[in-house]
Chain A
């Protein structure tokens, strides 16, 4: 079969999965009882009146997120190398080694900068 057609197959699969998901959510929304109340609709805060703003979080999570984006993109560069490593031979390996060492160096630097220190 045409290799590109396989992507269409994946898309069809995703479409059917999403349709079943929508059907499930709608079924739940339509069949359940509807008796909302002020306390029932309030955010759960261990039984207390909800207070304050619930959209703020420590900047630390941003650092971890950014670190992930960087490393994930760098690992993504290794995928094409991995498929062709046999053909590229030792010259290709030298390039991959250099690339990976830079990656590890970056990780070491971030570590020393204290990105993984959560108790500060």
Chain B
């Protein structure tokens, strides 16, 4: 028993450190990648090809002055980045990176857990906006939440058809189902589309990145944050991108399982599938414009949610007839 808990703690620590390392280098990929899309070079001075840039950034951030705004609500002001950071990391605990044992917590209701923690992460944003005692963060936070909750619903609705067909909320079961029956991106293409679009909003990436619509809102909910408190939000934001991509790969593209009968190597296949979505999001980010936020909220409630609901009913009928078994 105690040994098992120790193993879990080691696995958790390794996974968290791996995620933080991925975060550090995703900043590099993001900056270099976006620069390439815009025909510039991006950071290339610190180390070969700028590879040491994330480390330099981290050192700089740690030694920055840590301000607490005079009118801030101190407890919540400190709590907000912690909540954002913790719950952004939390979702990855149930994503399997390999067969049995290659997951920190193989929960029977893994999908539900993912939704629970991603909705808790919204608290970080709201508390940050509320506790700063400043107008831009308040408006930025409110806008983020008003939009996030709508897309959260569409996300939940889009994942129901997958659960219907796999007959389980356990992510290992969903991966196993796809190994025998084929990937969900083929079975559930409309659900995949809704899920992907809603994910973009969930990661607050273009075209839905108005949380940081700097022309209107300066920096959104983290305007008044500096030093490592700001870094916590930054990590949380990019972790949503990282985790969201891994989740799409797991739900719709077969997860850690190898395609075309290739040899099963635990982390590798999930990593490659994950990289596809990381790049796709970066591509959309570089080429698209930002939508107006009331239009975006209307899109979530008026288009994505009904579309996902109708598709859910179609799949439910198919499954109820005994089609998926």
Contacts and interface: CB of A to CB of B under 8 A. Distances in A.
Interface of A: 1, 3, 5-10, 12-14, 16-18, 20-22, 24-25, 27-29, 31-36, 38, 40-46, 50, 52, 54-55, 57, 61, 64-65, 67-68, 71-72, 75, 78-79, 81-86, 88-90, 92-93, 96-97, 100, 103-104, 107, 111, 116, 118-119
Given A17-B85, A17-B86, A55 B228 contact: no
Nearest to B12: A13
B68 A83 contact: no
B228 A3 contact: no
B215 to A, nearest CB: 12
Interface stretch (B29-37, B149-157, B277-285): B149-157
Contact of B62 (A28, A57, A65): A28
Contacts of B16: 13, 16-17, 20
Contact of A28 (B66, B93, B132): B66
A46 B320 CA distance: 58
A18 B82 contact: yes
B248 interface: no
Nearest to A57: B142
B86 A21 contact: yes
Given A14-B90, A17-B16, A28 B227 contact: yes
B128 interface: no
Contacts of B305: 71, 107
Instruction: Provide the main secondary structure of the chain A interface.
Output: helix
Interface stretch (B178-186, B251-259, B293-301): B293-301
Instruction: Provide the main secondary structure of the chain B interface.
Output: helix
B2 to A, nearest CB: 12
A13 B14 CA distance: 10
A37 to B, nearest CB: 10
B231 interface: yes
B88 to A, nearest CB: 9
B206 interface: no
Given A17-B85, A45-B136, 4 more contacts: A3-B108, A6-B107, A13-B90, A107-B306
24 contacts: A6-B106, A8-B8, A9-B12, A9-B93, A13-B15, A13-B16, A13-B105, A14-B86, A16-B9, A21-B232, A24-B85, A28-B228, A29-B227, A41-B70, A44-B223, A50-B71, A54-B133, A65-B145, A75-B160, A82-B163, A85-B167, A86-B324, A92-B320, A111-B302
Contacts of B130: 55
A13 B93 contact: yes
Given A28-B227, A86-B325, A12 B5 contact: yes
A111 B130 CA distance: 28
A84 B316 CA distance: 10
Contacts of A93: 316-317, 320
Contacts of A33: 63, 65
